[in-house]
Copies of this chain bind each other. A is one copy, B any other.
Amino acid sequence: MPTTTRPIIAFSGSVLDRADALRSDPVALAALRGRGDARLLGMDGLEPVVSAAGALVWQAMTAAPDAELLFLGLDGDGAPHFAPVPQAGSTAPAASTLWSAVEAMAAPDLAAYAAARALGGWHARHRFCAVCGAPTVLAKGGWQRSCTSDTCRAEHFPRTDPVVIMTVEHQGRLLLGRQPRFPAHRYSALAGFVEPGETLEEAVTREIREEAGLTIRDVRYVASQPWPFPASLMFACHAYTDDPAITIDTNELEDARWFTRDEVAEAMDARAQGRDGIAFSAPTQVAVAWHLLDIWLHGAG
């Protein structure tokens, strides 16, 4: 059993009440915006503005009096929280301090940022109607965009892409792989998008067959995580195989192999101390893959 408190899954644990009934009420939204206790999230495009203490920065609404706004919800005191809509086409900067900021940020901040980034990123890439090509406008406090063409009037909603991420076990060893873009020595759980016309369990089975050539059984859901880069919902799963012969899809993976429980435990202990393990470099604690490995080692309790 772990002796320290386990971190909550990063980007979850929001303390804001989304108050969805208010989204459809333009008068109420305008009143919320005008309140003295209303707060606007400091954002630089899709990246958070971070204080010296590593926290999100919530500004007075006067910081951006004409900004188009996303209504994130109400805090425990009823104060309305908003985020700005990013400019059209906003994308993540190539060089970013985001990850060091994310790893230092408290859970409620990460959760508020997750909603603001996923929703904001969707607005940045959906200024036009996919049905007819006409411009769209923001609606319902940012939780909808509406086509401006009188003959179309399509309604569009924020997109969330389900992704499966999974560990496979064989005789007490765990399958992990590395993508070419990973940091040196890093191995993590394999992952892929769920496709139309398949269950979560079928997506896990297909991805493991495609990427590692393994036939699996007994797929089990473990946990989920919102991952706003740009708009994923991660479904962490665990499965078993009876035949450990790996065939890698070299288009997706640089390597995949079996790690013993001792190797995983050492790499996770090393990660907790901010360094790479001996057999491999374990995933960061902000990734749900970290929780998959932690739960495999120590159980969910």
Contact B11 A122 (CB under 8 A): no
Chain B CB within 8 A of A225 CB: yes
A130 with B132: in contact, given A18-B195, A196-B114, A197-B119 (CB under 8 Å)? Answer: no
Chain B CB within 8 A of A231 CB: yes
Contact B115 A196 (CB under 8 A): yes
Mark each residue of chain A from 217 to 238: 1 if its CB lies under 8 Å from any CB of chain B, else 0: 0000101111010010101000
- Shortest Cβ distance from residue A8 to the other chain B in the assembled complex, whole angstroms: 10
* Segment of A159-167, A265-273, A274-282 engaged in the interface with chain B: A159-167
CB-nearest residue of chain B to A125: B131
* Segment of A50-58, A175-183, A199-207 engaged in the interface with chain B: A199-207
Contact A158 B196 (CB under 8 A): yes
Please state the number of chain copies in the assembly: 2
Contact B125 A128 (CB under 8 A): no
Contact A197 B118 (CB under 8 A): yes
- Shortest Cβ distance from residue A28 to the other chain B in the assembled complex, whole angstroms: 14
- Shortest Cβ distance from residue A299 to the other chain B in the assembled complex, whole angstroms: 16
Mark each residue of chain A from 104 to 133: 1 if its CB lies under 8 Å from any CB of chain B, else 0: 000000011011101100100111111111
The interface of chain A, by Cβ under 8 A from chain B, is: 9, 11-12, 14, 18, 20-21, 89, 111-112, 114-116, 118-119, 122, 125-136, 143, 154, 156-162, 193-202, 206, 210, 221, 223-226, 228, 231, 233, 235, 249, 251
